[in-house]
């Protein structure tokens, strides 16, 4: 009998094991039994051949309708063409050469059904005949003939055939054979899931589930198998998260209760607007957390423009009032600089401790970024270490080891989607004597199930309403079939500028140099279709704007390759209204806040992801002026890219769009664990569809960890958890 960690070569032989390892990264018995079929075919139902996509490796079930062999003139070659059909569409199979064609000719004759596996190509006859989909030299397996009539035949027709994600040299049916060999000898040991949990949720045993997913006797059995295996994925993940929460909440932290008559009160009194109900309520939640003896771990989400910064600043001031320091981390230098500017502006005299005109109980705010000058940096480091600076604003540079704080009480991480769990952990290490409180803010509103998994170690607060008086943002697609729209786009910019407003133009590339990683942190989902021209670049568009499209307007350029001082200068001038049009890369994606800007033009908009477009669009319509967002694209009507753009244009609901974004990505990408060749531990679970199951698993997991934090009474479960953590070692659950 074989255990889960047994190498496959012991059961399947070295040769097969080698193909499984190199082609599919399957090494152990456990790997193979968790390599689930991609889909299932029923013998009575043929694969829809119309749905085949060029270049894909497919396995189809079809019936042979025609077999035609012929010699090739003036060559010793021999060509066998077999046509198979699903009842309406056809697919041509071609076999060249006597040897290759021989077995096909012998086994394939009209009426025979089989599985055919190979790469789909399209054959276009010279002289313009109808293009024909084909598989060249496919692997195939003939399905045995139907037996006698009656019950046996019906059963036969209903047999479910698993179709596996295959690889070259290992067809689906060969994988099926390997799986069956392994399942026959599998020794699972005790079920990792506690019996009471299985009974409470009507779940079947693990062995039964594994057999059911690989070789279901009927669809009901398959459904039960999937439910059990999904449960395991959700539950084990939630156990890991519950353990993290428990460990974190057991740590000591210095309580920072609200102090009356302090900085926070002075700030509130001077605030030029009234806080929304949501801001006040979340403020209370945070204030209560900060007063506790254990560190806060809270996620604050809210759509673009919901006003998260003020909430964070108020939390920081409470901590400063309590004698501590607060650090604010931003994903980009541009955003860190902007936070620094807006926080000092909002605080006014309250940020000028020790300076002429500074208020009595004032503090200091310093900026710390990776590429600032040595002198400014030294000064900032000094003020952070001495405690003079109550608020330290920075980028990832703050994570570097030599940054010291006198008494770090709170870490605020802005626009979380760029910060992994490991980085949050690294910052927590910076607090001497207890852990700092942590507040994480998301750029993109995320569906609850994602919050429960990706950010499952955090408590969640949501700002669901925008501050009142916000004007609307209108979004339009500027498509290739309407060239007049593009001309109108430039005109609209000129009109807005004539009224004293400002505009952004965003391009996917900087241009001139190739190494642009800085500016493209979130690549658009999906593969680049072949043969597309390079995306529009800032430095290529600039001369055209200056000389032709927007002559006479004051155009500023912002991208990741500029020196930090230049970036800061450009943003300041834009904020001050000295620049009309800011031509930029996605460095303006998150957080940038210039309320006088009313137009956002996004070039090659189809190159960006849905959430990214939503973020970019959030740069306009921030004040009382209505915003206009124009999505310029070459994508053809009806294409997937156009559908995404239409979706962005049709709603300003960030939650709805983030669901759409999620649907179009692989789960692994969402969890940040998608590395080439690695398997995600989430194979069956889909974050969007399995919300109920995830929620139940979370409740059960939390209770179990509460009762048995180290899983001492649940050895088999602990082992399964260890396997998952191992798989995710480089992924999102990694501990510091
Ligand atoms: P985000 O949640 O996207 O980070 P910000 O914190 O940048 O949003 O806030 C967007 C804008 O709204 C800022 O200019 C901010 O000063 C303003 N703002 C925040 N709260 C309010 C409020 N209660 N009333 C009016 N304006 C507000
Ligand atoms: Mg923000």
pLDDT at position 120? 87
Looking at the CA of 279, name the nearest ligand.
1
Mean pLDDT of 102-106: 83
* Least confident range of 16-30, 417-431, 610-624, 642-656: 417-431
Residue with tokens 């139907």: 146
More confident position, 477 or 370:
477
Mean pLDDT of 276-294: 95
305 CA distance to ligand 1 centroid (A)? 6
- HEC per residue, 588-601: HCCCCCCCCEEEEE
305 lines ligand 1 (CB under 6 A): yes
% of residues, the chain, pLDDT over 70:
84
Q: Residue 55 is encoded by which pair of tokens?
A: 């270049």
The rounded distance, in Å, linking the Cα atoms of 446 and 725 is 24
Mean pLDDT of 320-331: 92
More confident position, 100 or 7:
7
Residue of the nearest CA to atom 14 in ligand 1?
593
pTM: 0.69
pLDDT at position 371? 76
622 CA distance to ligand 1 centroid (A)? 8
Mean pLDDT of 545-556: 95
Looking at the CA of 304, name the nearest ligand.
1
Q: Are 419 and 440 in contact (CB under 8 A)?
A: yes
More confident position, 677 or 446:
446
Confidence of residue 667 (pLDDT cuts 50, 70, 90): very low
323 lines ligand 1 (CB under 6 A): no
Looking at the CA of 300, name the nearest ligand.
1
Confidence of residue 240 (pLDDT cuts 50, 70, 90): confident
* Least confident range of 151-160, 201-210, 467-476, 695-704: 151-160
- Nearest atom in ligand 1 to 622's CA: 11
pLDDT at position 155? 57
The rounded distance, in Å, linking the Cα atoms of 138 and 117 is 5
Q: Are 484 and 580 in contact (CB under 8 A)?
A: no
pLDDT at position 399? 66
Could you give the angle at the alpha carbon of 591 between the alpha carbons of 588 and 593, nearest 5°? 85
276 CA distance to ligand 1 centroid (A)? 10
593 lines ligand 1 (CB under 6 A): yes
Helix/strand/coil percentages in the chain, nearest 5: 40, 20, 40
Q: Which of 467, 597, 615, 625 to mutate to test the pocket of ligand 1 (most atoms within 8 A of CB)?
A: 467
More confident position, 356 or 60:
60
- Beta bridge mates, 410: 326, 437
The rounded distance, in Å, linking the Cα atoms of 698 and 457 is 11
Confidence of residue 736 (pLDDT cuts 50, 70, 90): very low
User: Could you tell me how many residues make up the chain?
Assistant: 736
Q: Residue 211 is encoded by which pair of tokens?
A: 């057999």
Confidence of residue 673 (pLDDT cuts 50, 70, 90): very low
311 lines ligand 1 (CB under 6 A): no
Report whether pLDDT(5) > 80: yes
Confidence of residue 517 (pLDDT cuts 50, 70, 90): very low
pLDDT digits (tens, 9 = 90+) for 165-215: 777 778 888 999 999 999 999 998 899 999 999 999 999 999 999 999 999
pLDDT at position 513? 57
Report whether pLDDT(392) > 60: yes
- What's the Cα-to-Cα distance from 503 to each of 471, 500, 607, rounded to whole Å? 16, 10, 20
> Mean pLDDT in the chain?
84
pLDDT at position 445? 64
More confident position, 679 or 342:
342
More confident position, 545 or 466:
545
596 CA distance to ligand 1 centroid (A)? 14
Mean pLDDT of 313-340: 91
Report whether pLDDT(217) > 60: yes
Confidence of residue 471 (pLDDT cuts 50, 70, 90): confident
What number of other Cβ atoms are within 10 A of residue 24's Cβ? 19
Confidence of residue 728 (pLDDT cuts 50, 70, 90): low
304 lines ligand 1 (CB under 6 A): yes
- Picking from 381, 262, 357, the residue whose alpha carbon sits closest to that of residue 314 is 262
pLDDT at position 157? 59
The rounded distance, in Å, linking the Cα atoms of 125 and 131 is 7
Residue of the nearest CA to atom 18 in ligand 1?
307
pLDDT at position 283? 97
The four Cα atoms 634, 636, 640, 642 give a dihedral, to 10 degrees, of 60
521 CA distance to ligand 2 centroid (A)? 17
pLDDT digits (tens, 9 = 90+) for 397-456: 676 667 889 999 999 988 665 445 555 555 556 655 568 898 988 866 666 666 666 666
* Least confident range of 136-145, 478-487, 533-542, 702-711: 136-145
Residue with tokens 């428990």: 246
- Picking from 270, 355, 281, 357, the residue whose alpha carbon sits closest to that of residue 317 is 270
- Nearest atom in ligand 1 to 443's CA: 3
Q: Could you tell me where the beta strands, DSSP code E, fall in 262-420?
A: 297-302, 325-329, 364-368, 389-394, 408-413
Domains of the chain, start order: 9-195 (2.40.50.140), 263-463 (3.40.50.300), 473-526+533-652 (3.40.50.300)
pLDDT at position 206? 96
Confidence of residue 228 (pLDDT cuts 50, 70, 90): very high
pLDDT digits (tens, 9 = 90+) for 245-278: 888 778 888 999 999 999 999 999 999 999 999 9
442 CA distance to ligand 1 centroid (A)? 14
Q: Are 252 and 470 in contact (CB under 8 A)?
A: no
């Amino acid at each position: 009998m074989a255990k889960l960690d047994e190498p496959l070569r012991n059961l399947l032989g070295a040769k097969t094991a080698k193909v499984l390892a190199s082609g599919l990264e399957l090494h152990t018995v456990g790997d193979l039994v968790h390599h689930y079929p991609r889909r299932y075919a029923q013998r009575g139902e043929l694969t829809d051949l119309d749905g085949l996509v060029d270049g894909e490796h497919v396995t189809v079930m079809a019936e042979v309708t025609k077999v035609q062999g012929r010699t090739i003139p003036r060559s010793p070659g021999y060509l066998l063409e077999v046509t198979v059909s699903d009842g309406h569409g056809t697919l041509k199979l071609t076999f060249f050469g006597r040897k290759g064609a021989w077995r096909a000719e012998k086994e394939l004759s009209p009426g025979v059904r089989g599985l055919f596996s190979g790469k789909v190509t399209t054959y276009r006859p010279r002289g313009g005949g109808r293009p024909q989909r084909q598989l060249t030299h496919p692997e195939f397996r003939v399905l045995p003939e139907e037996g006698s009539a009656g019950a046996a035949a019906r059963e036969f027709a209903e047999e479910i055939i698993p179709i596996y994600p295959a690889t070259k040299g290992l067809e689906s049916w060969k994988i099926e054979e390997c799986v069956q060999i392994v399942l026959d000898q599998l020794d699972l040991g005790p079920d990792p899931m506690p019996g009471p949990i299985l009974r409470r949720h009507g779940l079947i045993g693990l062995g039964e589930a594994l057999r059911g997913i690989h070789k279901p006797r009927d669809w009901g059995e398959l459904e039960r198998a999937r439910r059990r295996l999904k449960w395991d994925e959700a539950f084990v993940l939630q156990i890991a998260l519950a353990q993290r929460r428990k460990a974190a909440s057991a740590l000591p932290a210095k309580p920072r209760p609200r102090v009356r008559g302090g900085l926070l009160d002075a700030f509130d009194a001077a605030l030029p607007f009234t806080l929304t109900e949501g801001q006040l309520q979340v403020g209370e939640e945070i204030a209560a957390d900060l007063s506790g003896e254990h560190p806060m771990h809270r996620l604050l989400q809210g759509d673009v423009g919901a006003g998260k910064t003020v909430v964070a600043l108020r939390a920081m001031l409470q901590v400063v009032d309590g004698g501590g320091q607060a650090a604010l981390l931003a994903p980009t230098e541009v955003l860190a600089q902007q936070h620094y500017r807006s926080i000092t502006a909002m605080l006014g005299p309250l940020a000028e401790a020790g300076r002429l005109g500074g208020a009595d109980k004032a503090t200091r705010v310093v900026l710390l970024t990776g590429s600032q000058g040595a002198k400014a940096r030294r000064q900032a480091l000094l003020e952070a270490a001495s405690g003079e600076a109550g608020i330290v604003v920075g980028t990832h540079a703050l994570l570097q080891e030599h940054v010291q704080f006198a008494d770090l009480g709170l870490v605020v991480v802005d626009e979380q989607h760029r910060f992994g769990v490991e980085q949050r952990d690294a910052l927590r290490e910076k607090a001497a004597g207890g852990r700092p409180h942590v507040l994480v803010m998301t750029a993109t509103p995320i569906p609850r199930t994602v919050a429960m998994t990706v950010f499952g170690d955090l408590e969640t607060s949501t700002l669901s309403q925008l501050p009142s008086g916000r004007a609307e943002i209108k979004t339009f697609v500027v498509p290739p079939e309407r060239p007049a729209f593009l001309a109108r786009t430039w005109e609209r910019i000129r009109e807005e500028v004539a009224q004293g407003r400002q505009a952004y133009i965003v391009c996917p590339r900087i241009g001139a140099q190739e190494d642009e990683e800085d500016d493209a942190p979130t690549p658009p989902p999906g593969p680049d279709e072949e043969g597309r021209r390079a995306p529009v670049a800032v430095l290529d568009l600039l001369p055209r704007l200056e000389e032709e499209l927007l002559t006479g307007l004051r155009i500023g350029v912002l991208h990741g390759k500029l020196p930090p001082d230049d970036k800061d200068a450009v943003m300041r001038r834009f904020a001050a209204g000295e620049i009309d049009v800011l031509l930029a890369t996605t460095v303006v994606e998150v957080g940038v806040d210039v309320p006088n800007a009313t137009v956002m033009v996004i070039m090659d908009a189809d190159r960006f992801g849905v959430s990214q477009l939503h973020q970019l669009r959030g740069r306009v319509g921030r004040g009382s002026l209505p915003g206009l967002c124009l999505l310029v694209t070459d994508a053809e009507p009806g294409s997937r890219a156009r559908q995404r753009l239409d979706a962005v244009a049709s709603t300003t609901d960030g939650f709805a769009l983030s669901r759409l974004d999620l649907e179009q990505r692989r789960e692994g990408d969402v969890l940040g664990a998608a590395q080439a060749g690695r398997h995600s531990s989430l194979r069956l679970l889909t974050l969007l569809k399995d919300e109920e199951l995830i929620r139940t698993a979370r409740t059960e997991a939390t209770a179990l960890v509460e009762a048995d934090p180290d899983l001492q009474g649940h050895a088999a479960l602990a082992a399964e958890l260890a396997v998952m953590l191992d798989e995710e070692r480089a992924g999102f659950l990694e501990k510091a």
